Every structure is written in structure tokens, then in C-alpha cells.
Amino acid sequence: MNRDPAGRAAIIAAIMVGAGALLSGLLNFFMLISNVPAIPRSYFLQDPIGWALTPRFRPMAVVAMFVALLLLVGLTWLFVRMVVRTALPGRAAAVFFGAWGAIIVAGWISGLVRMPLMMAVLRIPTDRIESFGPQLLQFSTVGATWALGWGWVTALVIAMVHRSSGARIVRPVAHPSAGYPTAGPSSPGM
């Protein structure tokens, strides 16, 4: 087991975000083939990686999906590790909001990297700004929107892991040469 609390929390966050992204993509795909309307599906269950394992197999779409998944998991691990390492012991609220923000930023970056690959798969022309702008916005924000809606679950688990890691606030002990009275047989006041 990893004895480093920051490493343990980062691994848990990466696993939870990766599994959540795969599950969201798969459920969104099943809802799509079940003819669930786009409005409830797109508001409550975003697809941060762009599920591409369909009967109409497109190799570049699968590459884009796996690149987005690897980036989402890797950046979540990195950012959550940095948040937990810099948080003071016992500050679970700071870890919660920091981890949630880290997951949102990781989702946004993975969407930005996935965007040119998906535009090539869908053959969206990049020479016209009226078609490029909305596609840029849609592809780059879907991961961040998913993390905003569902990343708090992972952040809550990470905050609980941080809180229960056993790290406590350590108060400095006064040194006898600093002029502070100390409790013990050698103190002059006793």
C-alpha cells in the first residue's frame, strides 16, 4: 500500500475519474441507442471522453477517446497529487475544493486535446469560423461540464481520505534557549 497520503489520494482520484468517465460514456451510448431524447441525456449525463466503441468503428475516434481518457486520468492524478501535497493536515475542505477544481481543469484540457482529433473524424471544416467556433466550444467544455457535475463525488472521497490519513497538525515546541519557560526539573521557575 502506498504510505504517501498524497500519492494514495491521487491514485484513488485517477481510478474514480477514469471509471466514471468510462461509465458515463457507456451509459450515454446505451441511452443514445435507446432513443432517449438529447435534452435530459445531455444535461445529466455528459460524455467526457466521446465514447467511440460503436458498431460503426472509426479508428481515429477510438484514438481520440483513449487520448482523452489517458489525459483525463493522468492530469487528474497529477493535479490532485499537487493539491493534497500542498494542503495542510486536517484541511479537508481545501482538499475537496482543490480536487474538484483539479478534475474540472483536467476535463477541460482533455477536451481541448480531443477536439482536433474529433474534428478530423467528423470532417468538420476548419476554414470557416462559423462552424469552427461552436465545435471548439462544444468539444472543449464537455469534459469540464462533466467534471463540474460529477467530479464532486471524487473530490468528496479524496477529502475523506485526506482527513483520515492520520496526519495531524503539529505545533512547534519551544526550545529552552529561546527564553521560553519549559516544564521540567531544569527550569529556573520551579
Q: What is the pLDDT of residues 164-175, one digit of tens each?
A: 876 554 555 556
User: Does residue 174 sit within a domain?
Assistant: no
CB distance 77 to 175 below 8 Å: no
User: Does residue 91 sit within a domain?
Assistant: yes
User: Does residue 111 sit within a domain?
Assistant: yes
pLDDT of 160 strictly over 70:
yes
Q: What is the pLDDT of residue 181?
A: 57
How far apart (Å, rounded) are the C-alpha atoms in residues 166 and 9?
A: 13
User: Does residue 51 sit within a domain?
Assistant: yes
Residue 176 has what DSSP assignment? G
pTM comes to: 0.79
Q: Which has more confidence, 146 or 1?
A: 146
User: Does residue 23 sit within a domain?
Assistant: yes
Helix (H, G, I), strand (E, B) or coil at 50: coil
> Percentage of the chain surpassing pLDDT 70?
82
Q: What is the pLDDT of residues 4-27, one digit of tens each?
A: 778 899 999 999 999 999 999 999
> Percentage of the chain surpassing pLDDT 90?
40
Domain range for 55: 5-165
User: Does residue 70 sit within a domain?
Assistant: yes
Q: What angle do CA 119, 122, 125 make, to 5 degrees?
A: 60
**Domains held by the chain: number:** 1
User: Does residue 188 sit within a domain?
Assistant: no
Distance between alpha carbon 9 and the CA centroid of its chain, in Å? Answer: 12
CB distance 174 to 182 below 8 Å: yes
